[in-house]
Amino acid sequence: MTTPRTIDVAALIEGRTLTRFNYGVIAVSILITFLDGFDLLMLSHTASYMADDIGLSKLQLGNVFSIGLFGMMLGGFFFGYLGDRIGRRPTIILSAFSFGFLTLLFALANSYEALLALRFCNGFALGAMLPLCWALNIEFVPRRYRATVVTIIMVGFSLGGAMAGPLSVWLAPRFGWQSVFLLGGGATLASAVLLLFTLPESVRFLVSKQRQPEKVANILKRLDPDLELRADDRYTLSDEVDLGQRSFRVGQLFAGKLKWVTPMLWIGFGVSSMAMYFLASWSPLVYTYAGFDRGTASWVSSFASFSGAMAGLVLMRFVDRKGPYAVMVYPLLSLPFLLVLGVAGLQGNAFIALSLIGAIFVKGSHYGITSIAGIFYPSAIRANGAGWAASVGKIGSILGPLLGAYVLNSGLPVVRSFAILALCPAVLALCAFCVARIYPQGGSSTEPAENRKSSTSISTG
């Protein structure tokens, strides 16, 4: 009779490098977040066409932008909870099918009221796609790769947003703005079908919930085909507090050192989202109002999104090595550019050049806070931890487009909003500093890295 073995899944994952399995999970995550970004930001690039066709004022456009973000906030709470209840895989697939179908329905919208309703529902379905993909991938990679992997997935989101501009400018004048939504919705539904056949469940999630040991074994064999596993093996996570089968409570996000980390993540996410979504929603129209044609406006905004993604990717290797202190870099670099834009009254090429540099640092800053949003929480509540951070941050996302709408509608020069936005990276840098003081090297909130017991991945007993 063989002695039952206990397999430490955390140690097994931590002792490995990235494998073909990891690259496959990352690839399908990039695909669906690419379409997430495309579906979310195509509205910004089709807004001027829709305004002409349906007859929308600047304030009405601002309301459509913001109600979608409000829907994303509520959807983040709901799908984050669902992800920690039924799993990452089914929740991601449900979200993908939902926002793909709702995006298709935009092609039928012919009134302000219809746009509001569809944008809210679409935003709700989009709400937790990114946090769930972060959680799923974090739980398959060693700690030293987590911030980088999260950022690579965010690059997919930004590339999708960047492609929304050129594709909208090419499609909308030729086939109508409805064609952009038909493309986005159709591609998302096709990708959702692909997820059914390729996306695995998080092995850490299954172990933390003490579910389906046979599925855990199958996933571990996919991760490492050379592993020898037995039917009576038991699985554990040595680097996390065992939360068992208890239902999620918000108070768990404030346990131990999280009582300081969680508020800083929420505030940092909020101010970063405010700046990010002001630029994402209004940049194409701001450039248009500044005298540039629609094609130039969309290309400049898309270039800023792509460059911000690349800047964020460069930063993440420093975050993995240096911890949250590295998150402070881009917010501090963006401050002088935003202040000069807000007070100097620049025009023409000088305005575009400085706004591009400022936007790249603002967007790179958002990658910084995003990369650490989920790494401090145990697997049993990670989807909720990342989902709540992203959803509370949507308060800032909602205020960003509204700020742009009221500045544009007030008659003030739109550049004044850049000076106001300079507060956002300043606060973000302060929040990152506070988190770094608590966890200088990043990592799990359950136990400081220097105090973790070393363990082998397989033991008998």
Closest by CA position to 368, among listed 445, 301, 428: 428
Give the chain's radius of gyration (CA, Å): 22
Domain boundaries, the chain: 5-460
Kindly report the three-state secondary structure assignment for every residue of the chain: CCCCEEEEHHHHHHCCCCCHHHHHHHHHHHHHHHHHHHHHHHHHHHHHHHHHHHHCCHHHHHHHHHHHHHHHHHHHHHHHHHHHHCCHHHHHHHHHHHHHHHHHHHHHCCCHHHHHHHHHHHHHHHCCHHHHHHHHHHCCCCHHHHHHHHHHHHHHHHHHHHHHHHHHHHHHHHHCCHHHHHHHHHHHHHHHHHHHHHCCCCHHHHHHCCCCHHHHHHHHHHHCCCCCCCCCCEEECCCCCCCCCCCCCHHHHHCCCHHHHHHHHHHHHHHHHHHHHHHHHHHHHHHHHCCCCHHHHHHHHHHHHHHHHHHHHHHHHHHHHHHHHHHHHHHHHHHHHHHHHHHCCCCHHHHHHHHHHHHHHHHHHHHHHHHCCCCCCCHHHHHHHHHHHHHHHHHHHHHHHHHHHHHHHHCCCCCHHHHHHCHHHHHHHHHHHHHHHHCCCCCCCCCCHHHCCCCCCEEEC
CATH superfamily for domain 5-460: MFS general substrate transporter like domains (1.20.1250.20)
pLDDT tens per residue across all 461 residues of the chain: 567 788 888 888 888 888 889 999 999 999 999 998 888 778 877 887 888 888 888 778 878 877 887 888 888 888 888 888 888 899 999 999 998 999 999 888 888 999 999 999 998 988 778 888 888 998 888 888 887 888 888 888 878 877 887 888 888 888 988 999 999 999 999 999 999 999 999 888 888 888 788 888 888 888 888 888 888 888 888 766 655 555 678 888 898 888 899 999 999 988 888 888 777 766 766 677 667 776 777 777 777 777 877 787 777 767 777 778 888 888 999 888 888 877 776 677 787 788 788 888 888 888 888 878 777 888 778 777 877 887 787 788 777 767 767 776 766 666 677 777 788 899 999 999 998 888 876 555 444 333 344 444 555 55
pTM above 0.85, yes or no: no
